[in-house]
Structure 1
Amino acid sequence: MRRGRVLVIGLDPVRIPGWDPEPVVAAIARGQARFDELGIDADLCLVAPDDNPEAAVAEALTGADYACVVVGGGIRKHEPLLGLFETLVNLVRRHAPGAAIAFNSTPDDTAEAALRWLP
């Protein structure tokens, strides 16, 4: 039996200049595989801060009925992105008011973050 659908919002590591995205890309893939192992449908919404992330997240939120939305640490922990983080949380409240909001520690534990809130 499949559980409620999850949306994972995070920074797109390929579109962030100045560092090697491969370790994060691999961790995201492991996180998505964990959702599959647990029988949870999970969609990714990876954004770049300078490329209208609000519109991408709003579109993702209205594209399906989500039981939980996980906001990744790249958005949440990086102080210059505090305003973006607040905006995204409010977009979740507006477009998916019934969804729980969860936070991961790393891309590898994203499914576990969602499980804290899924029935």
Structure 2
Amino acid sequence: MAEKTVLIVGLEPTLIDFSDPAYGFVPGINAEKVKAGLDASENALKELGYAAEQCLIDFGDTAEAVLQKKLEQQHYDCVLIGAGVRVVESNFLLFEKVINVVHRHAPQARLCFNTQPDDTAESVRRWV
């Protein structure tokens, strides 16, 4: 059986203003820690036998186009949308846009959601 493919969608960490209390759901978080968490999640999925990769997006200027291009380049069995996109209230419209791009360009993909980088593999394994 072929490897199951997973796309991890998250905010580009260098664009996040971590002084904004909305991003305080993980204490002490910063761009380096977010990127390290994303990389660790991708590597953990690969160790479990998934073909995983990241798609880092901005807050909406190019997010839809970047995600659409990624989804058109490859078939994905699962798309994980990270907590930074989902749980921050000011990103509500971005989250809707992301969901609709996935629905339109990867309707076969299972959707899953993590709460923090270290539960990404568990989130994916629930559905794929």
Asked if these proteins are the same fold (TM beyond 0.5), I'd say yes
Which residue is equivalent to 1:91?
A: 101
Return the match for 1:64 from 60, 66, 74: 74
1:46 aligns with 2:62: no
- Give the secondary-structure state (helix, strand or coil) at the position aligned to 2:4: strand
1:43 CA drift (Å):
1.4
Distance 2:16 2:61 in 1: 11
- Distance apart, 1:51 and its partner CA: 3.6
Give the alignment partner of residue 74 of structure 1, picking from 75, 80, 84.
84
The question of whether the paired residues in 2 share the 8 Å contact of 1:62 and 1:95 is answered with yes
CA shift for structure 1 position 17: 3.9
Deviation at 1:3, TM superposition (A): 3.1
Question: Kindly, what percent of the aligned residue pairs are identical?
Answer: 40
The TM-score normalised by the length of structure 2 is: 0.85
Q: Distance in 2 between matches of 1:88 and 1:101?
A: 11
Kindly report the root-mean-square deviation, in angstroms, between the aligned alpha carbons of the 2 structures.
1.5
Q: TM-score, normalised by structure 1?
A: 0.91
Number of the residue aligned with 1:11 = 11
Structure 1 stretches lacking a partner, 5+ long: none
**Alignment-derived partner of residue 118 in structure 2:** 108
Question: Number of aligned pairs?
Answer: 118
CA shift, 1:114, in A, is 1.1
Paired position in structure 2 for 1:21: 31
Alignment counterpart, residue 46 of structure 2, candidates 29, 33, 36 = 36
Following the alignment from structure 1 to structure 2, what is the Cα–Cα distance between the partners of residues 112 and 62? 26
